[in-house]
Amino acid sequence: MAQIESGRGGGRSKNVDLNLIPFIDLMSVLITFLLITAVWTQVSMIQLGTSFYSKKVEGVEPIKTPDMDISLRVDIKSSGYTIVFGQQYFSIPLKEKEFDTERFFSEMEKIKKQVPNKQDAVVAISNELPYEILIHSMDQLLRSGFPAISIAAGGPK
């Protein structure tokens, strides 16, 4: 307990106790909040195939098929979808000012039937479009059998 006593003259002594209980209460609430939100940030992450920064396994060569050499790119623009598959171009325009996800899904299923071993796809989206459109497009790619999705930086070509 800290006290300050005045000099001569019989002045009152002042009690300068620091009350730490409200500070401890605040810290316990903040730590609890931090622990709870840390769990939810891990749950909401999106798994996007292999990372460039992941470890490479020594001595294991990936199995290459002819289907792997054919590139599959999905460009999402304000005018609709553009699918580039090898040398083929498919354009899916907007349907009543909305993206036609069902037609996009059916086109992706057709591509999957042509090359059943193909797993990867690259998605590029214009910066002015909402993020939800990218997520819906990725869902359609996963549904049609392309689990290794990469997102291209720099927007569509």
- Residue 52 located in a structural domain: no
CA-nearest of 143, 125, 145, 128 to 81 is: 125
CA-nearest of 82, 122, 121 to 99 is: 82
Say whether both 91 and 132 belong to one domain: yes
For residues 83 and 107, the answer to whether their CB atoms sit within 8 Å is: yes
Say whether both 36 and 81 belong to one domain: no
Number of domains in the chain: 2
- Residue 59 located in a structural domain: no
- Residue 111 located in a structural domain: yes
- Decide the pairing of beta strands 72-77 and 120-125: parallel
- Residue 49 located in a structural domain: no
Say whether both 72 and 145 belong to one domain: yes
The model's pTM is: 0.58
**Lookup result for tokens 């996007």:** 48
Say whether both 72 and 144 belong to one domain: yes
- Residue 25 located in a structural domain: yes
Confidence class for position 152, pLDDT limits 50, 70, 90? confident
Say whether both 75 and 129 belong to one domain: yes
pLDDT tens for each residue of 15-33: 778 889 999 999 999 999 8
Q: What is the CATH number of the domain that holds 133?
A: 3.30.420.270
**Percentage, residues of the chain above pLDDT 90:** 27
For residues 73 and 152, the answer to whether their CB atoms sit within 8 Å is: yes
- Residue 60 located in a structural domain: no
Say whether both 35 and 77 belong to one domain: no
For the record, the structure tokens of 8 come out as: 């001569």
Say whether both 129 and 77 belong to one domain: yes
DSSP tag of 145: T
For residue 120, what pLDDT is reported? 87
Say whether both 135 and 72 belong to one domain: yes
- Residue 63 located in a structural domain: no
- Residue 57 located in a structural domain: no
**Percentage, residues of the chain above pLDDT 70:** 73
CA distance 35 to 57: 34
Beta-bridge mates of residue 150: 122
Torsion, CA 102, CA 108, CA 110, CA 115, rounded to 10: -170
Range of the domain at 121: 68-151
